[in-house]
Structure 1
Amino acid sequence: MAVTTSEGGGTSSILSAETASGRHEFKVEGYSSYKGLASGEAIYSDKFRVGGHCWSIAYFPGGFLKQSCNWICSGLHRYRAAGDDGKIKADFTLSLLDKDRQPLALHTAGRVQCIFPNKAYSWSFDRFIKRDDFDSLYQKGDCFCIRCDVTVVSETREEPMVPPPDLHQHLGDLLFSGIGGDIMFDVGSETFVAHKYVLAARSPVFKAAFFGGPMKENAATRVRIHDIEPRVFEAMLHFIYTESVPDIDSPKDKMVMAQHLLVAADRYALERLKSVCEHDLRMRVNKNTAVTTLVLAEQHGCPLLKEACLKILKSSDSYKEALVGYDVEDDLEHLTICCPSLLKDLHGAGLCDLLKKHRIESAK
């Protein structure tokens, strides 16, 4: 199969080759009675079908041409039929068979990539076997058998493939260039340029801020963002424009970024980004991050992430490792103060007693 493509967002198409194979045996009895046929006169086998086309084995007792009348000629004939839509390509092999119906190696001939035009047409071997050799082989029984193996190769060209969507690439370029930007965000010591309509289309929070009524941000061209790191806000903008999160090499940094992005996604009602972050954290949470991630999951409504954290903490071995270096001030009281809704879940998982035990052991 050949695949052709065009760079730069162009079209592409696929050219595939499909094959169909078949075999037919042509037995000629009383062949001596055909010796009087002139050059170019043929005897044809019954028709057989291969690859959706109709074929016959052709046998020329007097040769195909006068200058080769001392040779037996044989070939493959294609019949033109209604519905045939052009030339076809085929490989074929003709073999004389011995008395056990096995091919005679010295009298086997083949052709490859033969083009049969859009009409009745034959491909032949003018000098398939010398007449004298042929007579010595088959005179006794006055019959012979020719076998033809055919493989039809049909090429099918599919319609040009539509290139994949690239809106995210163009929007990413727009964000990177800042062209047409109508809003600036001051985050920490950095400033980011964006487009109100893009932000409003992606976030109901931005939509309400810029187009939702008599809010001061409606006409604002510059907004100060608090309680979010510049790199996190930049990553959030990247997702808004491109539906993807920037690559981060360090696994630890990926975990931290996912935590911060989840908070930002919840803040700006970016539900898909929130789901992406929740899934990523579920895959990365471990004994060392289960406690802090549990609080994060509870505060921002991530039930699947919360379930994953509790599952890790239910193991007594896990809880000890999870609480290594955890200050007494940050134990049960801290968790229940900052996130009181967790108290029921902690009791249900049997973790309250473990946390109290840890607090006592830490105080010794």
Structure 2
Amino acid sequence: MVEVGDSPATVPPRATREDMGKRRRKIELEEQNINSALREFRVNYEQFKYYAIGKAICSKPFATGGHMWRVNCYPSGQDVSDGGEYVSISVELVSKSKSVHAIHEAFLIDKDRQPCHEVAYRSNADLFETSSEWGWSQFVARTELEEVYLTEGHFTSVCSIMVIRDSSISVPPPDIGEQFSNLLDSSDGADVSFVVDGETFHAHRAVLAARSPVFRAELLGSMAEATMSSITLHEITHATFRIMLRFVYTDALPGDDELGDSSSEMVQNLLAAADRYALDRLKLICAQKLWADVSVDTVATTLACAEMYSCSELKSKCFDFFADEENFKKAVLTEGFMQLVQKFPSVMPELRERLGI
């Protein structure tokens, strides 16, 4: 590779040697912090046009984003497959650096010293490693360059590079959910227990009260449970309570494979528990899961759950499903729809109004 000079920065003619030194140090400091750079690269095409394919003319190295770069120009092209019919332009990372992402672009300057929009390219964020280069193998056809863009045997390209810096200090993702999950598993500091279907769960009053207004009233208020160290719960299964309690501590549900074979039934049970303890986010998560599995066979049962547990968002979605005439014709023939009408007769007038029938 042959290195040629590109446009240097100018210094005021009256600057003293001391001023020049200060200016140089200032520029060096600024270049260490700057994230982008623009370089004009003038190439003597007549001198180098007979270069072999893959042989480059290189700009002087320049700094930006804490790394050293240079522009490479291949007068006969970079790739043998192009047959020497194109000029190639690329940007190369020359410093010994860790990998860095950067966006780069290049364009020609026409004979009027204006940017040429016909020969202009911009990259995505490419990954550079030491001595790696990215660019355009077919930057401009040699015939087009010779006919249109040469001035006294020279052409000028402009390359810019913008370094995408990573944060200088890596911050791990939050793990508060994992920490509270460990607290639940260890039972350290637990001050209340729940007995469900003969199974005992240890918990912390402060955590439960912070997450649920119902638990707050029961455990920290004037209700009898506030003075009880062990509370027996009815009308909820131990499996449902275990998942709900884990959600209270971690704000997350287990995967569908952990919900059991009857995951839809478990989600319905969790919706009931979320309504009972005013866990609004859990309630909406359950609604989302139920809605994702809605079909003409299940929509009536899902609507019944929405009505029973006052989930207006899920109810509205079910009404939208019924609004499709084909869905309605099939859903009304299901056993679930018959049970819906029997348990919640008030739903029918709402549904008729929604459907306009």
Q: Same fold (TM over 0.5)?
A: yes
Structure-2 separation of matches of 1:328 and 1:303: 18
Q: Which protein has the larger Cα radius of gyration, Structure 1 or Structure 2?
A: 1
The C-alpha deviation readout for 1:309-348, integer Å capped at 9, x for no partner, is 233335564345435562898463x23xxx3432421443
Deviation at 1:183, TM superposition (A): 1.5
Structure-1 separation of matches of 2:10 and 2:166: 23
Q: 1:327 to 1:262 in 2, by over 3 A?
A: closer
Residue of structure 2 in register with 1:348 after alignment: 353
Residue of structure 1 in register with 2:49 after alignment: 103
TM-score, normalization by structure 2: 0.56
Is contact 1:96–1:104 with CA below 8 Å preserved after alignment? no
Is contact 1:94–1:109 with CA below 8 Å preserved after alignment? no
1:161 paired residue among 167, 170, 177? 170
Q: Amino acid of the residue matched to residue 198 of structure 1?
A: V
Structure-2 separation of matches of 1:322 and 1:90: 65
The C-alpha deviation readout for 1:241-299, integer Å capped at 9, x for no partner, is 11111111389733222211111111001111112212222222221111222122112
Residue of structure 1 in register with 2:203 after alignment: 194
* 1:310-329 equivalent positions in 2, closer than 5 A: 310-314=319-323, 317-319=326-328, 321-322=330-331, 326=335
Q: 1:261 to 1:308 in 2, by over 3 A?
A: same
* 1:48 equivalenced with 2:3 (yes/no): no
Residue of structure 2 in register with 1:222 after alignment: 230
> Share of identical aligned residues, percent?
30
Structure-1 separation of matches of 2:38 and 2:353: 74
Deviation at 1:220, TM superposition (A): 1.4
Is contact 1:95–1:148 with CA below 8 Å preserved after alignment? yes
Deviates further, 317-326 or 221-230: 317-326
Deviation at 1:112, TM superposition (A): 8.6
Deviation at 1:181, TM superposition (A): 1.7
* 1:199-348 equivalent positions in 2, closer than 5 A: 199-213=208-222, 215-249=223-257, 253-314=262-323, 317-319=326-328, 321-322=330-331, 326=335, 330=339, 332=341, 334-335=342-343, 339-348=344-353
Deviation at 1:172, TM superposition (A): 1.2
Secondary structure of 1:82's partner? Answer: helix
Q: Is there any run of 5+ residues in structure 2 with no aligned partner, and where?
A: 12-22, 64-151
The C-alpha deviation readout for 1:135-164, integer Å capped at 9, x for no partner, is xxxxxxxxx978898978787564313222
Residue of structure 2 in register with 1:63 after alignment: none
Q: 1:224 to 1:87 in 2, by over 3 A?
A: same
Pairwise CA RMSD of aligned residues?
A: 4.4
Deviation at 1:209, TM superposition (A): 0.7
Secondary structure of 1:218's partner? Answer: helix
* 1:128-207 equivalent positions in 2, closer than 5 A: 158-207=167-216
Q: Amino acid of the residue matched to residue 84 of structure 1?
A: E
Structure-1 separation of matches of 2:178 and 2:340: 46
Structure-2 separation of matches of 1:252 and 1:243: 23
Structure-1 separation of matches of 2:43 and 2:308: 81
Q: Amino acid of the residue matched to residue 103 of structure 1?
A: K
Structure-2 separation of matches of 1:114 and 1:197: 62
Tell me the matched-pair count: 249
Structure-2 separation of matches of 1:291 and 1:145: 80
Q: 1:92 to 1:104 in 2, by over 3 A?
A: farther
Is contact 1:95–1:109 with CA below 8 Å preserved after alignment? no
Q: Amino acid of the residue matched to residue 219 of structure 1?
A: T
1:85 paired residue among 17, 20, 29? 29
Is contact 1:92–1:151 with CA below 8 Å preserved after alignment? yes
Q: Amino acid of the residue matched to residue 26 of structure 2?
A: A
Is contact 2:298–2:336 with CA below 8 Å preserved after alignment? no
Structure-2 separation of matches of 1:318 and 1:97: 71
Deviates further, 222-231 or 89-98: 89-98
Is contact 1:287–1:321 with CA below 8 Å preserved after alignment? yes
Q: 1:152 to 1:302 in 2, by over 3 A?
A: closer
Structure-2 separation of matches of 1:154 and 1:197: 50
Structure-1 separation of matches of 2:275 and 2:186: 27
